Structure formats: structure tokens, C-alpha cells
Amino acid sequence: MQLATLKHRTESEDSFVIDATHVRVRFHSAKNDVEKVIVHYCDNYLPLNQAKTIEMTKIGEGQVEDHWGATLEAPFHRLKYTFEVIGNDGTSVVVGDRAISSDVESALMEDGYYFKVPYCHDIDMVKTPEWVRHTVWYQIFPERFANGDKSNDPKNVKPWNPEDHPGREDYYGGDLQGVLDHLDYLKKLGVNGLYFCPVFKAGSNHKYDTIDYLQIDPELGDKDLFAKVVNEAHARGMKVMLDAVFNHLGDKSMQWQDVVKNGPSSRFAGWFHINEYPVEPYHDPLQGEGNPQFDTFAFEKHMPKLNTANPEVQDFLLEIATYWVKYFDIDAWRLDVANEVDHHFWKKFHKAVTDIKPDFYIVGEVWHSARPWLNGDEFTGVMNYPYTLQIEDHFFKHKLTADQMTKRLTDQLMKYRDSTNAAMMNMLDSHDTARILTVANGDQDLALQALTFEFVQKGSPCIYYGTEMGMTGGNDPDCRKPMDWSKEDGPVWQRVHELIKFRLDHDETFGKGTIKLHVTENGLIEVDRDGIESVKAYFNTTDHDVKIDCKDSFSQDYRNGVLAPKGFVITVR
């Protein structure tokens, strides 16, 4: 047995309280190396001869590890536990808090070998909002969704043309009135969460270079109109998520312009990370101009980075964060470039918004492993790119085999607690990426197959505006074409509508149930979801028909017991 591969961490994604009397534990071993894992456990103050045992279930197979799981009872709200591991080679060891021991009988009777849960504190539990498990998000890029009010169109607005290829500076006149006019459309489509790209006053069409966080951009509308959008969305059972850029300001903001004018004597000089003066003209290292005078998002001179360790900046940003919750009743924040802001600030942010609304949803934009932010006191979840990009790498780009993808996705699931996985935000495309139909080389069946695979995963699925219309687009800014309203109720629309309905009809299982991924002997990807019902989904990503006999609850290209390439069949029992 490979002792170096036996792993468990306390108070982490490997050991977490799920209620006052239950603790979920995970254990990891080398692939195909361990026959079984037995947990010995009891209350911290009971003698070890009263310890109970439970055999762990193999909950998944990763790239190099087998993952095991068990739920332990803690009737007195405390627990100690250790692992007896039996290898395929017949050897046995105890993997404990202080050491690994081959003297199994002795180790099981020694308190020092037991991991401890000192008390199941409710306040320390990583909780995620119940409603997120029952939400399908729809991402709206306001300037490109619908033009409901031509009176606020910017100068040089272009004709609304879904076939156009937008430039970075182009405007088409989309606004909040356009969203309000189409709320019944979104209700008909079936989504119940609206994620808005920034709506605050800014100097661009994308609004990520904020000038004033306490104003709605006049090109989109005003506060009264925004309040109406929120209220009307809520009346239709939809949650509302706004996009916040707290990593940086726009260079047209009052604060940055004061720094430009007054240099080190500006009262806002400490709001930014400034290396030398004057701050203009900007030295762009990408152009070989030397070191920049101030820190920015990437090397974008129009986006000077905020110093979120400065108490004045903290107060400024927390006022914004709470203002839109208190006075407009938004339900969630999506946080742009969230990984580049300090943890100290995000902890304050989390407390500020959840003090107002305990079930508030906080989503960070983090494109890599996000463990440090997901311990219950910063973000609820993140935009789950490390998960969904691997789906694209198999379904669209063929960089991964089905077996490689399922193992990598399983490893990703092991990085976070169950409640966190259930609150991740899953998307296959967004305003930052090429559209899925384009990545799928125009193959609509393939795009919808991958979208369905996303919808049966743990986490809250999100579709980008226009996916239901079969819109195409390359990388930013081409993915931001004006919405194609001519395709409403068309064949692609109907299929996306049916997918959303299927997800929400079974959201108790999809939102809360367990998940297991593997590849069948005949090459199909199988996703097993178990909750109040059993859901089995099969996806054919091979190049040939595959015979499979199962009840058809929802499918694509499945006929007479044969699943065609790019097809799927889902059965619910």
C-alpha cells in the first residue's frame, strides 16, 4: 500500500459539519490501491472501546486518487475519528491525527490517533443559500440585450444587427427598459435568476471601468427604472445579481482624476497602488515602456487598482455593497477580478451584506482553485471555470478523452465542501469567452449536448443571453453581439426551454443530491445523481451509435434503444 498517498485534512473540504449532529468526512488514496476504508468514531469524551465504525463509500475516481466518503453521527455535537485502511495487498494501517501506524489494534485505542471536531458550531458551518440550488441563471449584457428606450441612446449608436461583429467602442443602445420589456419573455423561457453585467455609470459599453457606483449609467436608465426591474423580476419569482468591480476604478472617476491633477498631495493618493509620479502618461510594459507608475487590472491603464487595505477605500466600497442591497433589494453580487482583492476586505464585505440579507449570494470571479475564498466567510461560490472549461476541452476541443474529463471533474469536486459545490456558478460561455456554438464549430446538437451535461452537474447553471437563439460569436468583443430576437420560439429556443424546465422540475435532486461521474464499458459518459429520486444521464461523445436500453425521461438523438453521437438520454426513477 502506498502510504504517502493516504490523505485527510480536518476542518476543510475533507471534514465539515453538515448539521448539529452530523459530520461529513472524505479520505483519499492512490488509485486501485485500497480495498476499503473504515472510520472509527465516537464522542470526544467517551472511551474508545465505545467507538462505532462505518465503512466508507468510494465516491469517485480521480486522475491519480480514489476518493472515499462517509457521514458520521455526532449526537453530542462533538466527534473524534480515525481511519483504518485496508490495502489491496492485504496490509492494514491506521491513518490518524499524528501519524500512520501499522499497529492497528494499539492505534485504535490511543486518543492521539483520532482527528477531532471539538464542537459542531452552527455559526462556523459553511452554509449556502437554499434558493441558489433551485436557480437557473441568465446572464445579460445590458448594452446588447434590448433597446427599450431610444431617448437615452449614446451618440453614434449603431443599428441593431445580430449579424454584426461589434468593435470594442461600439454602442447599440441596449438598456434596462429593454430588460423590463422582456421580463415576461425570460419568464416564458423558464430562467429564475438574472445576472447583470455592470449597470453603474462608466466610460465604456461594458461598464467595467466604473466612474460612479451609486448611479445607474444614464445610457441604461436610472435608479427608478432599475428599482422597477428588480421589483418586477421578484414578482415573477426571479432573483437579481449585480456585477461589482471592487478591484479597480475607471480612470475617469473623480478619485483618479484628482490623483492625476494633484499627484502625491491628492487626498485619494492612498486609495491606489502608486509607484511613482506623475501617473500620466502611463508606461505600458507590454509596449516596452518600462515599469508602470501605478498598479492596474492587467496592464490596462484605464483601470487603476484600488488599495482595499485602506480603511477609507473599505468604507467607500462597503457603502456601495450595502446600498444596493438595502435600497433595491438585490439578491446577489458577482465580484469581478475577485482573486486580486485581499481576503481581509472580502471578510468585511461578506459580513456587511449577509447582516442585511442572511441568504445573500456572493459569487467571485476566480479562474483557478478557489479554496481560500470558500470557507464560509468570503464567497458563497465562484464562477466555476476550472470545472466547465474541462467540459469544453472534451466536448468541443477534444483535448481530453471522456475518461480523462470525468476523472478531472471528480478531482475538482473534491476541492470543495458539498454545500459549496451546490452553490458554484456553472457556465460554458460568458461576456469574457467565445460563445459555445462558435466553440462547437456551429454544431448545434453538440452545443446542446454539452449544455445539458453542464445542467446535470452540481452547481447553479447559467446561460449567456442569446444561447437560446443559437447565437454565435468569437472571443470578446465578438461574443457581445446584439440579441437576435428573430429566433424566439424557434427550434433551438424550444430545446433550451425544455432543458431549463427539466432542470427545475428535478431541482431537488440536481441541487442537493450526490453526484458520481464515470465512463461505461461502451464509451458513454454516465452521470449519476441521487437525491429524492435517482437520475442517470448518458452522453455519447463517441463517433458511433451506442446501444443502451433505458427509460427516456429527456433526450436528444435517442431512438429505439440507440444513442447517436452528440446525443444524450436521461432517465429519472
Q: Express each pLDDT in 166-191 by its tens digit.
A: 999 999 999 999 999 999 999 999 99
Q: Band the pLDDT of 18: cuts 50, 70, 90.
A: very high
φ/ψ of residue 310, rounded to 5 = -75, 125
Q: Band the pLDDT of 5: cuts 50, 70, 90.
A: very high
Q: Pick the catalytic residue: 217, 251, 336, 429?
A: 336
Q: Give the C-alpha separation, 479 to 494, whole Å.
A: 22
Q: Which long-range contacts (CB under 8 A, 24 or more apart) does 560-564 make?
A: 563/524, 563/538, 564/540
Q: What is the mean pLDDT of residues 3-15?
A: 97
Q: What is the mean pLDDT of residues 423-442?
A: 97
- pLDDT at residue 314 in the model: 98
Written as one string, the DSSP assignment of 312-326 is HHHHHHHHHHHHHHH
- pLDDT at residue 40 in the model: 98
Q: What is the mean pLDDT of residues 464-475?
A: 98
Peptide bond into 477 cis (omega under 30): yes
- pLDDT at residue 85 in the model: 98
- pLDDT at residue 470 in the model: 98
Q: Is 244 exposed, middle or buried (0-12, 13-18, 19+ CB in 10 A)?
A: buried
In the annotation, is 336 catalytic?
yes
Q: Band the pLDDT of 341: cuts 50, 70, 90.
A: very high
Q: Express each pLDDT in 107-144 by its tens digit.
A: 999 999 999 999 999 999 999 999 999 999 999 999 99
> Taking the model in full, what pTM does it have?
0.96
- CATH topology classification for 171-240: Transcription Regulator spoIIAA (3.30.750)
- pLDDT at residue 287 in the model: 96
- pLDDT at residue 35 in the model: 98
The dihedral built from the CA positions of residue 500, 504, 505 and 507, taken in this order, carries a sign that is positive
- pLDDT at residue 326 in the model: 98
Q: Strand locations in 383-464, DSSP E?
A: 425-427, 460-464
- pLDDT at residue 450 in the model: 98
Q: Give the C-alpha separation, 279 to 528, whole Å.
A: 56
- pLDDT at residue 139 in the model: 98
- pLDDT at residue 145 in the model: 98
Q: Band the pLDDT of 508: cuts 50, 70, 90.
A: very high
- CATH 3.40.50.720 fits domain 3-124: no
Cβ–Cβ under 8 Å, residues 93 and 102 = yes
Q: Give the C-alpha separation, 411 to 397, whole Å.
A: 20
Q: Strand locations in 156-282, DSSP E?
A: 193-196, 200-202, 210-216, 239-244
Q: Pick the catalytic residue: 61, 170, 365, 507?
A: 365
Q: Band the pLDDT of 384: cuts 50, 70, 90.
A: very high
Average pLDDT over all residues of the chain: 97
- Count other C-beta atoms under 10 Å from residue 543's C-beta: 8
Q: What is the mean pLDDT of residues 90-99?
A: 97
Pick the CATH number of 514-572 from 1.10.357, 2.40.160, 2.60.40, 3.40.720: 2.60.40
In the annotation, is 164 catalytic?
no
Q: Give the C-alpha separation, 86 to 27, whole Å.
A: 13
Cell of 108: 485504535
- pLDDT at residue 560 in the model: 95
- The class (CATH top level) of 248-307 is alpha beta
Q: Band the pLDDT of 202: cuts 50, 70, 90.
A: very high
Contacts of 466 (CB under 8 A, 6+ apart): 162, 435, 481, 483, 484
| CATH 2.60.40.10 intervals, the chain | 3-124
| CATH 3.90.400.10 intervals, the chain | 248-307
- pLDDT at residue 169 in the model: 95
| CATH 3.30.750.90 intervals, the chain | 171-240
Q: What angle do CA 162, 163, 167 make, to 5 degrees?
A: 90
Q: What is the mean pLDDT of residues 332-348?
A: 97
Q: Band the pLDDT of 482: cuts 50, 70, 90.
A: very high
